[in-house]
A and B are shown apart, each in its own frame.
Chain A
Amino acid sequence: MTDKTIIRFQQVTKQYDNDPAVLDNVSFEIERGKFYTLLGPSGCGKTTILRLIAGFIEPSDGNIYFNGKKVNQLPANKRQVNTVFQDYALFPHLNVFENVAFGLRIKKMKSNIVEQKVKEALRFVNLEGYENREIREMSGGQRQRVAIARAIVNEPEVILLDEPLSALDLKLRTEMQYELRELQRNLGITFIFVTHDQEEALAMSDEIFVLNNGKIEQSGNPNDIYDEPINRFVADFIGESNIVSGTMLEDYVVKFTGKTFECVDGGFHPNEDVEIVIRPEDLEITKPQDGKLQVKVDSQLFRGVHYEISCYDNDGNEWLVHSTKKATVGENIGLHFESEAIHVMRYDETEEDFDKRLEAYEEGSHGN
């Protein structure tokens, strides 16, 4: 723990009644002034983590520290944290202005300062001129932005955002992504952001926590998580991947689809069974005889930036290819890839062991 640490979870478990644990022995640290993203499928415990940080619920086991002090029992109104709720939770009896001003009024701020700050916050979320609207007169996306304004106007140490952009259209969403990121940098506030959307997570975060079933599967910066997923779940959840099983003959030599390839991963037992990940954009279409793999094109989708081409090899493995070049359905083609494009994953490796192994064997091999 360093003095940059603002929030620390120490083996936190959350359980309701006798149901299986919603969060299972989770430990992590949040550093001041960074942008964190919790990413994971529905029901994996993202909102639960935010509620623990905000103080709406208490951990069943383990400890939560805020600025080095244990805060397990500290009530929500005493924490330097503000939340943008998944269901917005705007006050229906107050208009837009009063909703945003709520926290400032509690702090008994002077009304001219309140007015100025609320206006500024509303300008930030592109809602100037909506001050006197009732909440029920606002659209879903506008409500979401009021909720963001209501949190940031208080300038807390930490802002928790529970899928704050999910109701916005693509253009506004991208715009808000940039602006939130910029705001976070300017204010130096710690953001903890929840999303289902892996692209959003990759684009915005300093650090991503990938969650599944109440556990953190992997944490790291977006590049690391994308390039070196720890297991099939992470590889599948972040970006699209081709995952096949293979055997590690020895360090730096892997066998899959009956062929032997050079790779850059090490630290395995000889002949260890492993899983191989190759990203669709790392596959390049060639003539059959020039390719490292020979496959048959099964279907093709135009995705705007690229074609998504689905192919099958002789063993029945599916290979997704992202290519700017068009292929012909039914055609036999070759697939070329660099040896760096192969990422080898061990079965059931803990994050700790994974990080250690990577450090020992992959120095400088993956571009960062």
Chain B
Amino acid sequence: MGTKSRNYYLIPYVLWIALFVVAPILLVLYYSFFNIEGHFTLENYKKFFTPVYLKMTFSSFWYAFLITFFTFIIAYPTAYLLTKTKHKQLWLLLIIVPSWINLLLKAYAFIGIFGTYGAANKFLEAMGVGGKQILFTDFSFVFVSVYIFLPFMILPIFNALNDLNPSLIDASNDLGASPLTTFKRVIFPLTLDGVKAGCQIVFIPALSLFMLTRLIAGNRVITLGTAIEQHFLVTQDWGMGATIAVFLIIAMVIIMLLTGKRKSGMLR
């Protein structure tokens, strides 16, 4: 009786998963076997392994890595400082609020700021450095992406640090460890789960970014996300777009397995 009624509760969830997760993935897989004329083919997969697409894959991973790396470099100290402040929940909220604003709005705001006559250039001129091309560069792409992803990385790291028993830090100092050693041997290993969760949340969407590549990077950065968009909306080559998506999905699954929590629950 108990398990039966519990099964009924699962129905909406299962329906949701089937309609919006499983079915689309199967459709993507299905389309990936057709060429632009609608004939069954393995051409798309062969094409994926040509230098054009491999380079695109590499650049996707490279930028996703850069974005994740810089986000982490900024997020960890920020989260650490947050746990030390008096009203930490309030500060955390202030950091999270920007993530509620629509991505496109933020992108357009940055176009304004980084544009030739934007605030950033005005500032550089005032500093005596002189105007620079900021928009449509790798730098602006990574910068804006990091800005957008930052709250998602800070949150899990903050939670991990916040859960850390402070007497473990005392214990480490007590046993002769300097603050740096304590960080390396106690604090960081014990917050690794939060770091992994944060990296996962940033790296996976960063792999398939496409709006920012056009708006901020001016299509100078071509990632797999951009390529998929181009194939579906511009060249109408759904087969090739789907093939790229298949590889993207595989990559994401691998990343999730790599950064997932260890089953042994070693840290809890």
List A residues at the B interface (Cβ < 8 Å): 51, 54-56, 75-77, 81-83, 85, 87, 89-93, 102-103, 106-107, 134, 136, 150, 154
Give the residues in chain A near B171, CB-CB below 8 Å: 83, 85, 89-91
Task: Please report the total number of B residues contacting A with Cβ < 8 Å.
Answer: 22
The listed residue (B167, B170, B172, B178) touching A102 by CB distance below 8 A is: B172
Question: CB distance B186 to A77 under 8 Å?
Answer: no
List B residues at the A interface (Cβ < 8 Å): 165, 167-168, 170-179, 181, 185-186, 189-190, 265-268
Q: How far is the CB of A93 from chain B (nearest CB, A)?
A: 5
Instruction: Return 12 A-B CB contacts under 8 Å, by A number.
Output: A76-B173, A77-B175, A77-B176, A77-B177, A77-B179, A83-B174, A87-B165, A91-B168, A92-B268, A93-B189, A93-B266, A107-B176
Q: How far is the CB of A18 from chain B (nearest CB, A)?
A: 15
Question: CB distance B181 to A76 under 8 Å?
Answer: no
Q: How far is the CB of B192 from chain A (nearest CB, A)?
A: 8
Question: CB distance B173 to A89 under 8 Å?
Answer: no
Give the residues in chain B near A90, CB-CB below 8 Å: 171
Q: How far is the CB of B264 from chain A (nearest CB, A)?
A: 8
Question: CB distance A89 to B167 under 8 Å?
Answer: yes
Give the residues in chain B near A107, CB-CB below 8 Å: 176
The listed residue (A87, A91, A103, A134) touching B176 by CB distance below 8 A is: A103
With contacts A56-B170, A85-B167, A87-B167 known, is A92 near B267, CB below 8 A? yes
Question: CB distance A76 to B170 under 8 Å?
Answer: yes
Give the residues in chain A near B172, CB-CB below 8 Å: 91, 102
Question: CB distance A91 to B177 under 8 Å?
Answer: no
Q: Please, which residue of chain B has its CB at the minimum distance from the CB of A93?
A: B189
Question: CB distance B170 to A106 under 8 Å?
Answer: no
Complex CA gap A54/B176 in Å reads 11
Complex CA gap A81/B175 in Å reads 8
Complex CA gap A123/B191 in Å reads 32
Complex CA gap A150/B186 in Å reads 15
Question: CB distance B168 to A77 under 8 Å?
Answer: no
Question: CB distance A106 to B173 under 8 Å?
Answer: no
Q: Please, which residue of chain A has its CB at the minimum distance from the CB of B168?
A: A89
Complex CA gap A10/B190 in Å reads 38
Question: CB distance B176 to A106 under 8 Å?
Answer: yes
The listed residue (B170, B177, B181) touching A85 by CB distance below 8 A is: B170
Question: CB distance B178 to A77 under 8 Å?
Answer: yes
The listed residue (B168, B178, B189, B268) touching A136 by CB distance below 8 A is: B268
Question: CB distance B181 to A106 under 8 Å?
Answer: yes
Give the residues in chain A near B268, CB-CB below 8 Å: 92, 136
Q: How far is the CB of B193 from chain A (nearest CB, A)?
A: 10
Give the residues in chain A near B189, CB-CB below 8 Å: 93
Q: Please, which residue of chain B has its CB at the minimum distance from the CB of A153?
A: B175
Question: CB distance A82 to B168 under 8 Å?
Answer: no
Question: CB distance A82 to B190 under 8 Å?
Answer: no
Give the residues in chain B near A89, CB-CB below 8 Å: 165, 167-168, 170-171
Complex CA gap A92/B190 in Å reads 8
Q: How far is the CB of B104 from chain A (nearest CB, A)?
A: 42
Give the residues in chain B near A51, CB-CB below 8 Å: 170
Give the residues in chain A near B173, CB-CB below 8 Å: 55-56, 75-77
Question: CB distance A154 to B175 under 8 Å?
Answer: yes
